[in-house]
Amino acid sequence: MLWLKRAFKWASVSLLALLVFYGVARFYVVYTESRIEGDRAPYFQKQSAEAISIVWHTDKPEIGVLRYGSRPDDLTLEVSELEPGEAHELRLTGLEPSQRYYYAVGNTRAMFYGGSEDDWFMTAPETGADEEAVRLWVIGDSGSPGKVQQAVRDAMTTWVTNNPREDEPYLDQWLALGDNAYRSGSNRQYQAALFDAYPAILKNIALWPAYGNHDARRRAFFDIFSLPEQAESGGVISGTEHYYSFDYANIHYVMLDSQDSDRESDGDMLQWLQRDLEANRQKWLIVAFHHPPYSKGTHDSDDEGDSRGRLVDMRQYVLPVLEKYGVDLVLSGHSHGYERSYLIDCHYGDSSQFSEKNIVSRGAEDKNADFVKAKGAHSGTVYVVAGASAKVDNASMNHPAMAVSLKQAGSLIIDIESSTLVARYINADAQVVDEFIIEKRDDDSWKEYLNPDYAGCTQD
Ligand SMILES: [Fe+2]
């Protein structure tokens, strides 16, 4: 029996060695693929009415220098870093709201980015400003570089060029709904899927990303993005870059983490969410996270096993809080298609339980839905899945909450001004294939538009 004992011992030691080797190898891969390397042009983060962060990377340690001013040929203001490094981030403070600034970036010897009339950024309008026209671009699951991604990007450019706003930039804001770099969110994949794909937009417009399952496979997301965990752009301090909020004009945005943070009611994220929404006084509330609460696209929100229950969790735990605070629009990705709901409320079960009782308003029956809503709790929400900015999947696309379900690549362009929000889904041919309007009313006239079968919500 001695030989059997020895064989068992040998097998145990070998298995242990194999596990240790696998663990070390895995750690090495995650570490090296997460590391930020090489030259990377400046991009903007944590935009607010009086401050903005500019981030860039160099392949050798150097002292970063930023010059800026109100004209491209007159960059009289200068800030520089104190210590040399490869990862550069400078925060400009004391800026004027709604102002355009031009910039150039380099080191103590030379400027090597910017300096032209195309190199500008803008500060946000003052928080609460109601008469500002805001144009927001939303991409989802954009992380597959290639022809579809480029066509969707160029379609946005075509559409905004053909539909310019007077004295306003081509865009004010930019949201990404997660899975920003396939397959693993590595630094190299982020280079290809974000920095090489959208250079002309990154040089002007601050990007607000949500955290997707593919971003979570490496750590690059948190080193690339500098997100307002200290409420640098408004809202309540979250203390983490996983989820955060910010204000822009009369809009409050909340970016949640449906991937790795605790999604249950007593978890840190939802406790913070309650505090944040309790403190919010903005007219519009827009919330974004990766895993959609309602979808019959690539992912099925009825399937408790899909994405380990994340879609179901977001619907069951998060939606009641959002609707209690009168959320207007919820944006998600993960499914690679476009799904847009009616103005709905109080639906936290699976799709077989969805009925007329959950529809606050159907809007018009054609593609141009016009929703009129009240302010406050359970006043109706439009849910959008827009995860087709780089690829489209085949699926049933028949969720009953959805008024429109399209297997078309595209992105959203949303215009908000005072009490009106107009959202358009722009396909890869720059055609508007869905448009909906949300109008908020102070008086009782919204009742004229109420679905008579809507049952209200007794959840709270
Ligand atoms: Fe995903």
**Which one of 62, 95, 122 terminates a domain?**
122
What stretches in the chain show pLDDT beneath 50? 367
Question: Do 179 and 96 have their domain in common?
Answer: no
Residue (of 421, 423, 387) closest to 406 by Cα position? 387
**The model's pTM:** 0.95
C-alpha 215 to ligand 1 mean position (Å): 9
Name the helix (H) or strand (E) containing 145: none
What is the per-residue pLDDT for 207? 98
With respect to residue 33, please indicate whether it lies within any of the assigned structural domains: no
Question: Do 307 and 205 have their domain in common?
Answer: yes
Question: Do 104 and 240 have their domain in common?
Answer: no
Tens-place pLDDT, residues 252-307: 999 999 999 999 999 999 999 999 999 999 999 999 999 999 999 999 999 999 99
C-alpha 230 to ligand 1 mean position (Å): 27
Question: Do 100 and 163 have their domain in common?
Answer: no
**Which one of 101, 122, 143 terminates a domain?**
122
| Residue recorded with tokens 């064989």 | 7
**Which one of 122, 141, 166 terminates a domain?**
122
C-alpha 177 to ligand 1 mean position (Å): 9
Q: What is the CATH number of the domain that holds 222?
A: 3.60.21.10
Question: Do 62 and 199 have their domain in common?
Answer: no
| Rounded CA separation 179/387 (Å) | 9
Residue span of the structural domain in which 98 resides: 50-122
Question: Do 237 and 108 have their domain in common?
Answer: no
C-alpha 297 to ligand 1 mean position (Å): 12
DSSP state of 179: -
Q: For the chain, what is the domain count? A: 2
Question: Do 239 and 317 have their domain in common?
Answer: yes
C-alpha 210 to ligand 1 mean position (Å): 11
Angle at 357 between CA 352 and CA 362, to 5 degrees: 100
| Rounded CA separation 177/207 (Å) | 11
C-alpha 77 to ligand 1 mean position (Å): 42
With respect to residue 457, please indicate whether it lies within any of the assigned structural domains: no
With respect to residue 441, please indicate whether it lies within any of the assigned structural domains: yes
Tens-place pLDDT, residues 124-177: 999 999 999 999 999 999 999 999 999 999 999 999 999 999 989 999 999 999
Question: Do 263 and 389 have their domain in common?
Answer: yes
Question: Do 103 and 166 have their domain in common?
Answer: no
| Residue recorded with tokens 């194999």 | 18
